[in-house]
């Protein structure tokens, strides 16, 4: 699994550097948007090193796929604007990913109470989705733009983003229940 993760990281970084250097004259906002993938794709490794978290290779794989989908294809290649359902796919996947993080936390504290575990997974994922939407709103307010599509949809886009992330968490919670039962 580690070799697959490294291969996906290398492919993503090569593609990202190609796009970064092809857009070099587009201004600082485009440069930051394109180059921020370098930090985000490597974040699990940085967290493992700095905080000694020991994030497993399976969760790192999910993270890499998520960053490739959301950041590279969605932001850099502009699929969010080209394919309307792409946003919901990535937010559902974010629910799966944040549920995986919640399970890692539960494994660290060795919680055996399945009811608590399911509530924790759903709550943690809901919090992550909510904080992401607050982050998007703050960026829109500070930098401009309409990542939340408020002008087009009102709050519908934001609410659906949170709802589909919760669907991802429900799916993972069901799997977790059957895996631990």
* pLDDT range class, residue 178, cuts 50, 70, 90: very high
- Domain limits at 161? 84-181
112 and 178 housed in the same domain: yes
Report which DSSP code applies to 84: T
Residue listed under structure tokens 């759903």: 122
- Number of compact structural domains in the chain: 2
Q: What is the pLDDT of residue 166?
A: 97
Residues in the chain: 181
The string of pLDDT tens digits covering residues 56-98 is: 898 899 899 999 998 889 888 889 889 989 999 999 999 999 9
Say if residue 79 is in the same domain as residue 114: no
pLDDT at 140: 75
* 91 and 180 share one domain: yes
* Gap between the Cα atoms of 100 and 172, Å rounded: 8
On whether both 67 and 16 belong to a single domain, the answer is yes
Same domain, 33 and 118: no
Q: Which of 46, 64, 83 is the last residue in one of the domains? A: 83
* Arithmetic mean of pLDDT, 24-29: 80
Give the CA distances from residue 31 to residues 36, 139, 160, in Å, rounded to whole numbers and listed in that order.
8, 16, 29
User: Of the residues 30, 48, 83, which one is the last residue of a structural domain?
Assistant: 83
Query: Mean pLDDT across the stretch 21-39?
Result: 82
Which residue blocks in the chain are alpha helix, DSSP H?
2-22, 28-51, 57-67, 79-82, 86-109, 114-143, 150-153, 156-180
C-beta of residue 128 within 8 angstroms of C-beta of residue 91: no
How far apart are alpha carbons 45 and 1 in whole angstroms?
14
Q: Are 126 and 153 in a shared domain?
A: yes
- Hunting for tokens 């550097």 — which residue is that? 17
Residues 144, 174, single domain; the answer is yes
């Amino acid at each position: 699994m580690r070799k697959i993760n490294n291969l996906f990281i290398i492919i993503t970084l090569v593609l990202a550097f190609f796009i970064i250097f092809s857009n070099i004259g587009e201004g600082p906002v485009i440069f930051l948007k394109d180059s921020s993938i370098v930090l985000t794709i490597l974040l699990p490794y940085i967290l493992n090193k700095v905080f000694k978290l020991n994030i497993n290779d399976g969760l790192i794989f999910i993270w890499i796929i998520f960053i490739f989908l959301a950041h590279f294809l969605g932001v850099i290649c502009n699929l969010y604007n080209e394919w309307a359902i792409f946003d919901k796919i990535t937010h559902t996947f974010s629910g799966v990913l944040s549920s995986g993080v919640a399970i890692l936390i539960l494994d660290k504290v060795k919680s055996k109470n399945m009811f608590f575990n399911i509530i924790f997974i759903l709550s943690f994922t809901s919090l992550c989705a909510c904080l992401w939407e607050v982050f998007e709103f703050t960026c829109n307010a500070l930098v401009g733009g309409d990542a939340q599509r408020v002008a087009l949809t009102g709050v519908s886009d934001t609410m659906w983003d949170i709802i589909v992330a919760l669907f991802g968490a429900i799916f993972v919670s069901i799997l977790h229940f059957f895996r631990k039962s």
